[in-house]
Chains A and B, each alone.
Chain A
Amino acid sequence: MKYVEGSPNPKNRKKMEENNPPKLKSEEQVDLTLDKEIGKNLEKFKAFLKDSSDVVFREFSLGTQSIPCALVYVDGLVNVTVINEQILKPMMHQIALLETNLNQPIQPDRIFEIVKLHALAVGEIKEAKTLDDAFLYVLSGEVAVIIDGFDKILIANARGWPQRSIQEPPSEVVIRGPREGFTETLRVNTALLRRKIKDPNLVIKSVQIGRRSKTDVAYAYIKGVASQELVEEVERRLNQIDVDIFLDSSQIEQYIQDNYLTYFPQIEVTERPDKTAASLAEGRVAILMDNSPYALIVPATFYQFFQSPEDYYERWILASFIRLLRWSGAVLASLTPAIYVAIVSFHPGFIPTNLVISVAAARATVPFPAFVEALLMELTFELLREAGARLPRAIGQTIGIVGGLIIGDAAVRAGITSPIMVIVVAITAIASFIIPSYSAALAIRLIRFPFIVLAAVFGIYGVILGFIILNVHLVTIKSFGVSYMTPQAPMRYQDWKDFFIRLPTQIMKRRPTSTYPIDIDRRQQDPVKEEVR
């Protein structure tokens, strides 16, 4: 880059300049204001962009007076047909035709307006007053039209780049419900949201984050529903981010989350527009980012990670049953190995005598204590899962068969582990996959290792102690001012309709109170309301 931006802190900048003065040659340092002369403007563009092979400079002349003009765009980010047919053709031919028909040349000082109003047949036209703006537009795929004699640049929207089509989100598959998922293009994603909520109160605001990547980040909320404090807080946290490049929304998550010392997710991540739209209607704020198919939803509470969009598409009794199944899955995934270790090593009397005998018989040949056995098998399972996750799907299945069936069977036959331990590991594995949110499932899966250790040291007392400490940790977490364990702690019984079970839609007439929505009632939609209670 020819234009070096200093550190925002004046103290540092001074120090930096003393230590290593800007390395650019003096003739390459560029004044960022625009000139009236097209040659100088082009020089400024070229000073930055001439080394990049994907930038196209197209010089041509306009009308009968041959006013020098130029297009600057990035090849690959633009739609070439639009440029040829809607920008170049009118400017090169039709202006001249107009002048011939009218039999008088256009006055040179009006040419900018004429081009803007009569020539460019594209939907979105902007003006750039500085070189910085122009760069941002050009590099995000728009076309800069430079006309001689003006110190401003016309920007025509001709964006068009290869993009992934809308597909079914692979990380959140539902059997019943819409199948479209977000893609990597922000505009497509916001369009998907607009198609779901046609309310003028749906606000999609944009900020740019990343000193070099200049990534577009949009946050969406429904005005009059989402609490004003929440929106302001999102704005504040987004504007605080200062980093050079951004690649995925998960990086935003790491910057704006409340507590980075916990490994529980404090922000919900989804690929599904329907889930995002539903969250907006509950008074939450969604954060979308260009280049990322994941939307962030704030605030998030612990119980939200156990909800799937399908809960609302299926009839309520079935949905409630599945939700209860998920909760028990979470308990099983985190506690089963620990309870096994505790019972086998400390309290065999807890389970029926017949079972004790069969457990003891199965463990008779195992050379390790239950703790080592459990740790060994659980770690093996984690290895298999991680190995399978990164492989192509066909090979991933092989890993599953080899790992799950063959190693498990062989380990039992070799006397390294007992069949009951294999059952425990299998239950843990299956139970951990029942949780819809990947990051929450990961957190719950990992928590079982400290539990195993506690069970090995203190038996069932240690497990409960661990459970207590885990709960204390959970209640201290906050997500954008909302307690993580709402609606259980603090208790909000109004929200229990959609908690352990999901009651019929007819009963859920109100939004959850945990997000402090301005308009609590789902049925009457008030017109635009900026005012907060």
Chain B
Amino acid sequence: MKERSDWLSNIQITFMVSSAIIGVTVLTLPRTAAELAKAGGFIATFITGALMALVLVIVALLARRFPNDTIMEYSRKIIGLIPAKILGFIFFFYFISVVSVILRLFCDAVKVLLLKNTPLEVLIITFLFAAVYLCLNGVSSLAKICELFEPLVIGTMLLVIVLSLENFNFEELLPAFKQNISQWLYAVPHLTISYLGFEVLLFITPYAQDTSKVVKYGLWGILPSIFIYSLFVAVAVGTAGVEAVARSLYPTLQLARYIKFPGGFAERFDIFFMIFLMLGAYTTVSSYLYLSSVSITKLLGLRNYKPFILLIVPIIYVLALLPQNIKEINVFSQYVSYIGLALLAAVIVLYVLAVILKKGESLENEGK
């Protein structure tokens, strides 16, 4: 029977973008924001989100110009074979690094919060193989899982924010309005890693049912993260104060811990939050695992990406265990986000080149 449901619908595009973005970084985001932009962290987060939404539009426009290809194929049409291969390899390296960083960040948090005596290696392997199982089932299953989990993740995050308002003190945020713009902008490059994830658009557009609406529905995907991130930073700073947030390991979990479970049914809201965050981390890891296997497959000019999922698993495992302590993880993740930024810049350049060289499909239906 014809599988009508295997194309990605518009809503699925939104959910995939959204779940690739929202993930583990929410754990540490308030710390970075508070460290660099002090009380104005939430404004800096919002600005970063707005800038990233702009970048997303460009990424989506580029993807829309080539509705039948992934970036691995059309970059060759724009800049030629050798540069495209180099770009493709950087993409692949970036993706596996992101999987490793996210895995490591998440499993560290799980170990600290839930399973103190379980070896980190076991956590990484089990979580990785759960992601492998999903990726082996193809992109439509990935989209469906995003649809299933993302409402739960976003719902829990909103719940944490709403319940935290009880402890919220607006005065902590007031110094933000005395700051100048340069301080906010200074934090922007460090905050971008939280918003990375919409690169999925470069790879899933060929599977979309309606390619012309990729821009619109991609934008819908980044909106929840902008608001949730900004609110998280604002509420975390407003609850605990700038200094406490900047020194806390996982300020978001700290925030959740202050919450009294309504009705006194359960004591630790942070565990409850962690449970649902695990779903968010899972969708992010799976998305990037899918992207890395697809990118290496296309790089080698092959079709079936599934064997590569299993081939790259050992690399990811080793990369995830490479940093020795939390400091090294932070350095690692910082470098990864720099690569990500560089790649986004490259994508923007690609788009400009494509427009100048008139490659790809003309955009008569622009504005739709």
Q: Which residues of A lie under 8 Å from residue B264 when comparing CB positions? A: 352
Quick check: A480 and B1 within 8 Å, CB to CB? yes
Interface residue from B15, B115, B147 paired with A458 (Cβ < 8 Å): B115
Q: Is B268 an interface residue (CB 8 A)?
A: yes
Q: Is B148 an interface residue (CB 8 A)?
A: yes
Quick check: B133 and A229 within 8 Å, CB to CB? no
A475 in contact with B141 given A482-B5, A491-B15 (CB within 8 Å): yes
Contacting residues of chain A (403-434) with chain B, CB-CB under 8 angstroms = none
Please choose the segment from B47-55, B122-130, B331-339 that sits at the chain A interface, where 4 or more of its residues have CB less than 8 A away: B122-130
Mask, A146-188, CB within 8 Å of B = 1, is 0000000000000000000000000000000000000000000
Quick check: B148 and A351 within 8 Å, CB to CB? no
Q: Is B178 an interface residue (CB 8 A)?
A: no
The SS class assigned to the A binding surface is helix
Q: Which residues of B lie under 8 Å from residue A516 when comparing CB positions? A: 4
Q: Which residues of B lie under 8 Å from residue A481 when comparing CB positions? A: 1-5
Q: Is A123 an interface residue (CB 8 A)?
A: no
Q: In the complex, how many angstroms separate the beta carbon of A324 from the nearest chain B beta carbon? A: 16
A352 in contact with B12 given A458-B115, A460-B114 (CB within 8 Å): no
Q: Which residues of A lie under 8 Å from residue B278 when comparing CB positions? A: 461, 464, 468
Interface residue from A353, A458, A483 paired with B118 (Cβ < 8 Å): A458
Q: How far is the CA of A472 from the CA of B144 in the complex (A)?
A: 9
Q: Which residues of B lie under 8 Å from residue A76 when comparing CB positions? A: none
Q: Is A485 an interface residue (CB 8 A)?
A: yes
Closest to B283 in A: A468
Contacting residues of chain A (468-508) with chain B, CB-CB under 8 angstroms = 468-469, 471-472, 475-476, 478, 480-483, 485-486, 488-491, 493
Quick check: B1 and A476 within 8 Å, CB to CB? no
Q: Is B149 an interface residue (CB 8 A)?
A: yes
Quick check: A490 and B5 within 8 Å, CB to CB? yes
Q: Which residues of B lie under 8 Å from residue A229 when comparing CB positions? A: 1-2
Interface residue from B110, B127, B266 paired with A351 (Cβ < 8 Å): B266
A488 in contact with B2 given A346-B115, A349-B267 (CB within 8 Å): no
Q: Which residues of A lie under 8 Å from residue B134 when comparing CB positions? A: 472
Q: In the complex, how many angstroms separate the beta carbon of B142 from the nearest chain A beta carbon? A: 9
Interface residue from B118, B145, B265, B271 paired with A471 (Cβ < 8 Å): B145
Q: Which residues of B lie under 8 Å from residue A480 when comparing CB positions? A: 1
A485 in contact with B267 given A229-B2, A460-B114 (CB within 8 Å): no
A458 in contact with B130 given A229-B2, A480-B1 (CB within 8 Å): no
Contacting residues of chain B (281-316) with chain A, CB-CB under 8 angstroms = 282
Interface residue from A346, A458, A472, A490 paired with B137 (Cβ < 8 Å): A472
Chain A residues packing against B (C-beta within 8 Å): 229-230, 233, 346-347, 349-353, 458-461, 464-465, 468-469, 471-472, 475-476, 478, 480-483, 485-486, 488-491, 493, 516
